[in-house]
Amino acid sequence: MSDESPESPAGVDPARSFGAVAEAYDRGRPSYPVEAAAWLAGGEAKVVLELGAGTGKLTRQLVDQGHAVFATEPDEAMLAMLHERVPEVSAKVATAEEIPANDRSVDVVVVAQAFHWFDHEAALVEIARVLKPGGHLALVWNSRDERIPWVRRMGDILGRQDSNTSSAQHLAESELFGAMEEASFKHWQEVNRETVLDLARSRSSFATMDDAARERHLAELLAFYEDYGRGMDGMQVPYVTRCYRAAVVDRDEQATSGGGEPSQEGPVVSDGTDTDMLLIDFR
């Protein structure tokens, strides 16, 4: 998911507004650089929980890098497409504010293009709860590189909701997490006359337009493509992938310094070595 909530109509949960555009989202949205996925996970194979996983754009990368990945997504249509694209991943309809996992059960929590949708106070508490000691939360957004004039014009048409990474500040300011690290990676997305229209169709705002407004919006974008694209050879859209991560504060250390005994919780998710305990709540 990747649009900011202001474009969603009143009374509609924006995090669940993508089902009508799930196919366009899957066709039109860019993936993530391999290097970015590696930085987000932070090295060797881990148990990774992805929140707001959408159609599995980042999920596929994480699985291919050897991680044991489990996913949640609040929109059923988006989750159904994730099941098709990454069938080996256990996934469930759930929100970041109510994560179906036990305390200290995952090494990494990853959020791609979705953190801005969350109730940050509630979600950060839940994320800190499910992370193992030493684990971390990682956030990522793909943003078009609008230093280039024609890309800025494209943004004028498509909107810039998915370029806003300001919600990462909630992580930076949270007492539940340590110092936030940042990294960025450049990549290109190849689009053609049809998939550039999917970039427009994949916005939640598109689903709320009437038919005439949709036609005008697509016509404007197609006219832009005719000016700047290369016909059958398509167009290369430059992106900057902005990444953030921070380690969870060690609760055992806090409890011990306060005179209490650290609690022990059994994992719900696993890398498969504990057989039957493979993310029971995700079945």
β-bridge pairing 106-112 and 235-247: unpaired
Q: How far apart are CA 199 and CA 96, in angstroms?
A: 25
**Alpha helices, H only, 148-279:** 149-158, 168-173, 195-201, 204-208, 211-228, 251-257
CATH no. for residue 235? Answer: 3.40.50.150
Phi, psi of 86 (to 5 degrees): -135, 70
Q: How far apart are CA 120 and CA 128, in angstroms?
A: 12
**Can you give the pLDDT at residue 253?**
65
Q: How far apart are CA 246 and CA 279, in angstroms?
A: 24
The structural domain count of the chain equals: 1
What is the extent of the structural domain holding 242? 5-282
DSSP state at residue 263: P
CA distances from 127 to 77, 93, 282 (A): 24, 16, 17
**Can you give the pLDDT at residue 265?**
44
Stretch (H or E) spanning 76: helix 76-85
**Can you give the pLDDT at residue 19?**
54
pLDDT in tens, the chain (283 residues): 333 333 443 444 554 445 557 787 788 889 999 999 999 999 889 999 999 999 999 999 999 999 999 999 999 999 999 999 999 999 999 999 999 999 999 999 999 999 999 999 999 999 999 999 999 999 999 999 999 999 999 999 988 877 789 999 999 999 999 999 999 999 999 998 888 999 888 876 777 788 899 999 999 999 999 888 776 678 899 999 999 999 999 876 655 555 554 444 433 454 443 333 334 354 3
Phi, psi of 277 (to 5 degrees): -95, 30
Average pLDDT, the chain: 84
